[in-house]
Structure 1
Amino acid sequence: MLTRKQHELVCFINDRLEETGVSPSFEEMKEALDLKSKSGVHRLISALEERHFIRRLPNRARALEVLRMPERPERKAAPAAAASVPAPAARGNVRPAPQPANDVVEIPLHGRIAAGVPIEAFEGSSMLAVPAALLGSGEHYALEVSGDSMVEAGILDGDYALIRRTETARDGEIVVALIEESEATLKYFRREGAMIRLDPANRAYEPQRYTPDIVRVQGKLSGILRRYD
């Protein structure tokens, strides 16, 4: 599921390729989406690459290829069961939560980690039944994972990430980070000099570096729920 801006960008790139056969420039993409800076374009393109909607063609400047176009999201049937796995952005419909089992608690299910808006915007959206053994102390919420940027940490597309609310993190912890109050992402948190580095767990993607003033930690990963369909 794509955010509104991600959807707008892939459509803009596709239209320009069909019209001229040449990818639009970063400046043209920034103006078309009414973004404040080109860094926002870079984040959107990286997110679209992670979700396999576009790819950059090697050894060619301004070369982007649209791999697939987004479709209208469809609500899927509720999974029959959920199994636990050790812990290692478009806003859309949230998949039905796994069915409750014995010794479970319900926590808020706020949407997909690629939703592209602050986590607070999802308050009260739905509830997820979670085995109590997966949660420690503190307040928790859940997010549905989108994309493959954390696959080498055992976090797959469609998993439910169980997040403990916190505004602080230590190096090496997997966090929900909100960038410029607009885009949420699940990444390894690290400090690199005066910068914050958000590392994917997929060698196909590059780390993301930001100044501390535009990154806000919204929680740390406590566990993962996975559906087996």
Structure 2
Amino acid sequence: MAGSSYAGAFTETFQLQGQWIQLSNEVKQLSDEVYIIEISGDSMINAGINNGDKLLIKTQIHFKSGDIVVAQTANGTTVKRFIRQNKPPFIFLKPENPNYKHISFTDEVAMQGKVIGKLVSGHWQQLTQGRFL
């Protein structure tokens, strides 16, 4: 596991955990492109991402509106839904919990990767219609 990220406001950057998780053959084929983080917080609960969940992140540079992403600034990292629309605010990071506010997208925000899986009972689950069931 590469580290942890908060599903809330921006927080400290990834912290190495030193924990090993067995990966399936499909995930192993992506080994140069993926890493695992553990979630701390509840801002993404309506997307099926809960405190303590382990997420599989694919490193990439292009994102579609609606993707669940890991974003980083000088202040730290967060997991949110990336939103791009035709009206202000044009681009922002959206929590999936109404108790949290949107995060404005600025030049300081660096997209790190896209959430592509969650570890559930020892198996990797893929996103279904933008959320984990």
2:102 paired residue number: 207
Poorly superposed stretches of 4+, deviation over 6 Å: none
Say whether 1:162 aligns with 2:56.
Answer: yes
Aligned to 2:46, the other structure's residue is in SS state helix
Task: Choose between structure 1 and 2: higher strand proportion.
Answer: 2
Q: What CA distance in whole angstroms lies between the structure 1 residues aligned with 2:12 and 2:108?
A: 14
Say whether 1:151 aligns with 2:50.
Answer: no
Q: What CA distance in whole angstroms lies between the structure 2 residues aligned with 1:194 and 1:206?
A: 13
Q: What CA distance in whole angstroms lies between the structure 2 residues aligned with 1:136 and 1:170?
A: 23
1:132 paired residue number: 25
Say whether 1:116 aligns with 2:9.
Answer: no
RMSD: 2.6
Q: What CA distance in whole angstroms lies between the structure 1 residues aligned with 2:77 and 2:61?
A: 14
Note the C-alpha offset of 1:131: 2.6
* Unaligned stretches of 5+ residues in structure 1: 1-108
Amino acid at match of 2:46: E
Aligned residues: 115
Say whether 1:183 aligns with 2:76.
Answer: yes
Change in CA separation of 1:132 and 1:197 when aligned onto 2, cut-off 3 Å? same
1:16 paired residue number: none
Amino acid at match of 1:184: T
Aligned to 1:152, the other structure's residue is in SS state helix
TM norm structure 2: 0.72
Amino acid at match of 1:112: S
Aligned to 2:99, the other structure's residue is in SS state coil
Q: Percent identity?
A: 33
RCO comparison, higher one (Cα < 8 Å, 6+): 2
Note the C-alpha offset of 1:135: 7.0
* Unaligned stretches of 5+ residues in structure 2: 123-133
- 1:161-191 alpha-carbon deviations (Å, 9 max, x no partner): 1000113311110000002x33100000113
Note the C-alpha offset of 1:156: 0.9
Amino acid at match of 1:202: N
Note the C-alpha offset of 1:133: 4.3
1:226 paired residue number: 120
Say whether 1:141 aligns with 2:70.
Answer: no
Q: What CA distance in whole angstroms lies between the structure 1 residues aligned with 2:99 and 2:89?
A: 25
Q: What CA distance in whole angstroms lies between the structure 1 residues aligned with 2:96 and 2:4?
A: 18
Q: What CA distance in whole angstroms lies between the structure 2 residues aligned with 1:202 and 1:219?
A: 21
